[in-house]
Amino acid sequence: MRIAVVALGKIGLPIAVQFADSGHEVIGVDVNPRTVEAVNAAREPFPGEAQLQEKLTELVPAGRLRATTDYAEAIPGADAVVLVVPLFVNDETWEPDFGWMDAATTSLSQHLTAGTLVSYETTLPVGTTRGRWKPMLEQGSGLVEGTDFHVVFSPERVLTGRVFADLRKYPKLIGGLSDEGAQRAREFYEAVLQFDERPDLPRANGVWDLGTAEAAEMAKLAETTYRDVNIGLANQFALFAADNGIDVYQVIEACNSQPYSHIHRPGIAVGGHCIPVYPRLYLSTDHDAEIVRTARQLNASMPERLIARAADLLGDLSGMTAVVLGAAYRGGVKETAFSGVFPTVDALKARGANVVVHDPLYDDDELRALGFEPYALGGPVDLAVLQTDHADYRTLAPADLPGIKLLVDGRNATDAATWAGTPRIVVGRA
C-alpha cells in the first residue's frame, strides 16, 4: 500500500516507521521543515524512542519512508491517510482547540482522491469524526464519504519511548462511519500491525471493531479519564492519610492485594499530553460528569497544596532559595508537556521564593529556554521540591543540597533512612 501519515511527532513518526517496516510505501507530512529534513536524512528528530533510529537507518535509504511539507506530494493516490495531529485544550475554558487539526484536515481535503481510507488517530471529543471531519473532508474534496472515500476513528494507545512495543501489545480499536469503512480499516490495520498473544484478554489481540466512531472515541477518552479519576482518588486518600498519621502507601498496597482494587499512586502532579488533557475533552461533551471534573481539579491543585504545607512548616518563604527537582513530567522522559514543574514554580514564586530548577535530562540552556534558572546539585538551598521521579533522585541525600531545611518529596522517591534528621514531607505520609 501507499500510505500517508500526517504529523511526524513523537507518536506519528514511529507509527509511520511501523507502517514502512511492515512492507509498505510511506510518506509523512509535517509542517516543520527541520523534522522533514531529519527524517529524510534518516536521523531521529527527537531522542528517547526505542528502536526508532535503527529503523530509520534501515527504511529511509531503502526508499520505504520519506517526508515532505507538501500535502500535494503525499495525499493524492494514497490508499490510506492516517492523521496524528495534536489537539489542544484551552487552559481557561477547558474547551478543545481544533486549530491545528482543522488546518490539517482542510489541507488533506484539497488533495483527497477517491478510494482513500482516512483514519484519525488523535484523541477526540465524542462525535468529532462524524460531526466535524466528515463534512470538512466532503466540502474540501467534493467527494462523498461512504461512497468515494471512507473515514474511521482509530485512537493511538501508545506511550512515548515504547511505541513499537505498545503497538504490538494493545488491541487496535477502530470505529467507522459505515460498515464498509470499518471493513477497510480492519484490512488496513491488519496489514500494517503485528500483535502479541494476550491470553489475558477476553478475545484475541488484534483489530477490535467497536461498531461506531463514537464508541471508539469514547473508549480512548474513558481509558485515560479513568486514570486521572483514579489518581484523583489516590490523592484524596493521600491528603487525608497525611493529616491523620497514616501511611497511604501501606493502605494502597493492602487494598490492591484484593483483585477488585486497582488504586493508583498519589503524586504532586499529573503531566503529559494525555492524562491532564483527555478528561477535559470528555467534559466538553459530557458537562454533567462531576466526578471527572472534581478529580481533574484536585489533581491540578496538588502542587499548590504541597507548597502551602511547606510554607506552613518553614514560615515565610520570601528570600529563600527553592529548587524544584525535575522539569520533565515523568521520570526518564525528556518532555515537559503539562509538567508539574510549572505550577510548582509558580506556587513557590507567589510566596516570594527564589526558584531554581534541576533536571538530569536537561542542560542549563534548555532549562533557561523553558523559563527556569538552572541549578547544579551541591549549591546551597533552603527548600527542595522533588517533582519528577527520575532514577537519579532515588539516591538523593542532604549532602547534595547543602543547607536544606525541608525536602518536599512529591513522588515518594527518596529514602527515609538517608533523610533521617532532615525535615521531609512525603505526599501521602504524615
Kindly state whether residues 368 and 412 are assigned to the same domain.
yes
Q: pLDDT tens-digit profile of 33-47?
A: 999 999 999 999 998
Strand partners, 35: none
**Which of 160, 187, 212 is at the close of a domain?**
212
Answer yes or no: do 264 and 123 share one domain. Answer: no
- Please say if the pLDDT value at position 280 is more than 80: yes
pLDDT at residue 135, as a whole number = 98
User: Which residues partner with 424 through β-bridges?
Assistant: 407
Q: What is the average per-residue pLDDT within 166-195? A: 98
How far is CA 53 from its chain centroid? 21
**With the CA atoms of 80, 166, 168 and 14 taken in that order, what torsion angle do they form, in degrees rounded to the nearest 10?**
40
Instruction: Give yes or no for a contact between 263 and 237, defined as CB atoms under 8 angstroms apart.
Output: yes
Q: Which residues contact 301 (CB under 8 A, 6 or more apart)?
A: none
Catalytic machinery residues: 220, 274
What is the pTM for the complete model shown? 0.92
Asked if 252 and 154 sit in the same domain, the reply is no
Assess whether 200 and 234 both reside in one domain: no
Half-sphere exposure (Cβ direction) of 88: Cα atoms closer than 13 Å: 10
Give domain status of residue 218, yes or no: no
Q: Are residues 113 and 234 in the same domain?
A: no
Quick one: 196 and 60 in the same domain?
yes
Q: Are residues 189 and 232 in the same domain?
A: no
pLDDT, position 93: 87
Any idea what the Cα angle at residue 134 is, between residues 131 and 135, rounded to 5°?
Answer: 80
The answer to whether residues 78 and 110 belong to one domain is yes
Determine the Cα–Cα distance for residues 186 and 118; give it in Å rounded to an integer: 13
Please check whether residues 179 and 234 belong to one and the same domain: no
Q: What is the residue range of 293's domain? A: 226-430
**Whether residue 179 sits in one domain with residue 263:** no
Burial grade of 379 (CB within 10 A; 0-12, 13-18, 19 or more): middle
In a domain, 418, yes or no: yes
The domain boundary, picked from 212, 238, 257, lies at 212
In this structure, the answer to whether residues 284 and 164 fall within a common structural domain is: no
How distant, in Å, are the alpha carbons of 9, 28, 103, 122 from that of 85?
Answer: 8, 12, 10, 6
Band (90; pLDDT cuts 50, 70, 90): confident
As a whole number, mean pLDDT of residues 93-103 equals: 94
Write down the pLDDT at residue 92.
Answer: 83
Residue 366 lies in a domain: yes
Report CA Rg, the chain: 24
Residue 221: inside a domain? no
Q: How many domains is the chain built from? A: 2
Q: List the CATH number of the domain containing 199.
A: 3.40.50.720
Nearest C-alpha neighbor of 380 from the set 322, 319, 311: 322
Are residue 198 and residue 230 in the same domain, yes or no?
no
